[in-house]
Chains A and B, each alone.
Chain A
Amino acid sequence: MKLAWIISLAMAALGAFATVAAAVIAGLVTNDSGLPTWTALGVQMLLGALLGAGGGFAAGAAAQKQLRRLRATVEVAEPAEAPTHRLIAPLDAIARAHLEVVEELAGECRTVRSQFRQTEIRKHLAETEVQHLSDVLHSLRDAVLVTNEFNELVMANEAAASLFAFRREEALNKPVSKVLRESQIVGLIKEAAEAGSSNSRKHAECVLPREPEPLNLEVSLSSLADPTREASSVVTILHDITQERQVSRMKNEFVSKASHELRTPLSSIKAYIEMLLDGEARDEGSRREFYEIIQHEAERLGRMIDNMLNISRIEAGMITANWENVDLVPIAQEAAELLKPQAAEKKIRIHFQRPHQACHADVDKDMMKQVITNLISNAIKYTPEGGRVTVAPDLTDCDRSVIVSVSDTGLGIPPESLPKLFSKFYRVDKHERVAKGTGLGLNLVKQIVESVHHGEVGVESEVGKGSRFWFIVPCRQGG
């Protein structure tokens, strides 16, 4: 029976080899992508081995049976004393030769098995790596599109699918011009595919019409050149730079507006000084007028610079509040008193509405005074002669916050200007004629109340009737 086993083993190995060879030749062990499927190969080898083993065992058993029959025939045909070794010797030689072949085959089989195991490990590693790369690609915030030399989409990550609103599984292997509606980007990809004779990288910027606002994209196109082909496949990466563009636009606007605002009082100062030097002020009265203008404009310039610095310090988180738990009623009253002379010039009455109780809150006293002063000063500026400004501090929000409101009987603010009212340098167009301003006062109010005191500012207004500005600060900070 031993021989049957040996032969069966040999046949198993041969079977496995034959099966694999046949499969590889016939191209059976390839999947749709054209790559060998190692699992399929393994299964086929195993099947081949089993079939080979089965067949081999049967063949081995049959050979042993025949050998036994031959030996019996020899024993019967020749007397016992006859020299049987003459017949047995060649048979042994055959058996030995068989054994050598079988051993050789067994060795080969072991090698194949170990190679197979190694291949399986490599395949597993490769699969893990592919999965890892795919995870990386899909985790990218930038949209990635890969197209082949026929401009068909062969890969796209989730960001790309969401940016261009397509379903990945439906879009793959379709012409990119059918997947993307954005002809500009399709054009860039085609251009890169045609031009990409060498591995090249190209950058472009484009704007996609999107709601609520258009998207600014930085497009980077890398062509992966194949010398055997005329066109190349292209990797397109789209990076959203909308925010960067906005920040840079805002910065430029700020610099432009700030320089304009600062130059205006500066030009008055410079012009009047030159007039004085050139003797253009002919009498003491004119000279005095010029000095006063210079002083006024220098103060205006100083206030503007202070406001700008305060706003930028608050924005940068560089300002530290001097927290004190104080009653806001006397602070508001003090600010109202301070501005009474300014109001009196326009015959405006400032009415201070005293609440029934004290309004204590954790605040920076000086900053609060500045906020209330800015609001009252604005109310006076935009209220016609003979009008009225009312300052009213009170407790609100179940006594957890303090509200201070400043109402006027002024010009009122057009509804379209209300959302922009607290922005830096914003001025209501029609108000520019009524009074001078930097467009920084209300922004500073907002910064102090909201960024420093974690409160809220607001405004209600009706054109021709007046406005009511208010702010709320919590009584307790950090609680």
Chain B
Amino acid sequence: MAVQRERAGGGSKSGQSGGRARVLVVDDETYIQHVVSLKLSNAGFEVITASDGEEGLAAAIEQRPDLIITDYQMPFLTGLEMCQRLKQNPATASIPVIMLTARGFALDDADLRDVNIRKCLGKPFSPRELVACVTEAVGVRSAE
């Protein structure tokens, strides 16, 4: 399993009051994975990465992130399939997910709720907007 860990550069922008939130970034596109990780690290999050659905699933079970950002179209296991598997596992069922998709369609609202997808962002996306979504989702989860 090729899970890499990127430690945050600075923690000044962190949206969390106590302890840094851990975010798992799953994308088979290296450049996207890299840019998202960097943006989140700069915003004070702890970032772990995975390159496809299978790796993402294993990393989620092992590392228990506070939030997952995943691409939709990936080899072996799509983002949606990965989310369905996460939902079936009590240990990972409550982890919120933000999905990035380059597909021209939006996922059904019911689908999103069933698999704990909080937000769907279309590619090309804005890293700035993504960080705002992550901050909001992690905050929402902390309040629950």
Interface residues of A (CB under 8 A from B): 255-256, 259-260, 263-264, 266-272, 274-275, 278, 280, 282, 293, 297, 429-430, 432-433, 436
Contact = CB atoms under 8 A, between A and B. Distances in A.
Interface residues of B, number: 24
A271 B127 contact: yes
A445 to B, nearest CB: 23
Contact of A274 (B28, B29, B75, B128): B128
Nearest to B41: A280
Nearest to A428: B75
Contacts of B36: 271
Given A263-B124, A275-B39, 7 more contacts: A263-B102, A267-B125, A268-B29, A272-B35, A275-B127, A429-B76, A436-B29
Nearest to A281: B38
Nearest to B2: A433
Nearest to B130: A271
B77 to A, nearest CB: 11
Interface string B58-97: 0000000000000001011000000000000000000000
Contacts of A264: 29, 32, 102, 123
A429 B9 CA distance: 35
B121 to A, nearest CB: 10
A274 B126 contact: yes
B46 interface: no
B101 to A, nearest CB: 9
A414 to B, nearest CB: 14
A419 to B, nearest CB: 20
Nearest to B31: A268
B128 A263 contact: no
Contacts of A282: 9
Interface in B93-144: 102-104, 123-128
A271 B103 contact: no
Given A260-B103, A432-B75, A433-B75, A267 B128 contact: no
A280 B29 contact: no
The A interface, classified by DSSP as helix, strand, loop or mixed, is helix
A256 B102 CA distance: 9
B104 to A, nearest CB: 5
Contacts, number: 69
B32, B36, B52: most-surrounded residue (chain A CB, <10 A): B32
Nearest to A286: B38
A263 B101 CA distance: 9
B51 interface: yes
Nearest to A429: B75
A128 B52 CA distance: 72
Interface of B: 9, 28-29, 31-32, 35-36, 38-39, 42, 51-52, 73, 75-76, 102-104, 123-128
A267 B39 contact: no
A95 B9 CA distance: 139
Nearest to B123: A267
Contacts of A433: 28, 51-52, 75-76
B127 A260 contact: no
B3 to A, nearest CB: 15
9 closest A-B pairs (Cβ-Cβ)? A267-B124, A263-B102, A267-B123, A270-B124, A432-B75, A268-B31, A271-B35, A260-B102, A263-B123
Nearest to A300: B31
B14 to A, nearest CB: 15
A297 B124 contact: no
A271 B104 contact: no
A272 B42 contact: no
A419 B30 CA distance: 29
20 contacts: A260-B102, A260-B103, A260-B104, A263-B124, A264-B102, A264-B123, A267-B102, A267-B123, A267-B125, A269-B124, A271-B39, A271-B124, A271-B125, A274-B126, A275-B35, A275-B127, A293-B31, A297-B31, A432-B28, A433-B51
B47 to A, nearest CB: 14
A256 B105 CA distance: 9
B81 to A, nearest CB: 13
A433 B31 CA distance: 14
Contacts of B128: 274, 278
Nearest to B72: A260
A432 B76 CA distance: 9
Contacts of B32: 264, 267-268, 271
A278 B38 CA distance: 12
A245 to B, nearest CB: 20
A268 B35 CA distance: 8
Contacts of A436: 29
Contacts of A430: 75
A278 B126 CA distance: 11
A280 B36 CA distance: 11
Contacts of A293: 31
B40 to A, nearest CB: 11
Contact of B126 (A266, A269, A270): A270
